[in-house]
Amino acid sequence: MDEENEPHPALRGLRTVCRCNNIKHKTIERAIRDGATTIPAVAAKTTATTGLCGGTCTPVVMDMIEEIEDENVEGSQA
């Protein structure tokens, strides 16, 4: 999704990423920022990706991990 179509961060946080387990974007974001930078680690902290559907939300969680890691790399270069 390009930046112009991104919802405001506050709205994005309320979006449900994992419908099986009703896990919101902000919950997963917090887990990643707390050090869960792999799918198993996010799953252990939030249960996202572990639902009955077999993990259709996994690509979204992977994108979030990449996005937050990129932010951290950019931030550490400043």
56 binds ligand FES (CB under 6 A): yes
Candidate ranges 3-11, 34-42, 49-57, 67-75; the one touching ligand FES (CB under 6 A): 49-57
Alpha carbon distance 1, 27 (integer Å): 20
Stretch of 6-14, 34-42, 53-61, 64-72 contacting ligand FES, by CB under 6 A = 53-61
Nearest to residue 47, comparing CAs of 18, 26, 75, 69?
18
* Among 13, 20, 30, 37, contact with ligand FES (rule: CB under 6 A): 20
- Minimum Å distance from CB 60 to ligand FES? 8
List the alpha helices (DSSP H) in 1-78: 9-14, 25-33, 39-46, 58-77
What distance in Å separates the CA atoms of residue 19 and residue 57, rounded to the nearest whole number?
A: 8
**Cβ distance to ligand FES smaller for residue 51 or 68:** 51
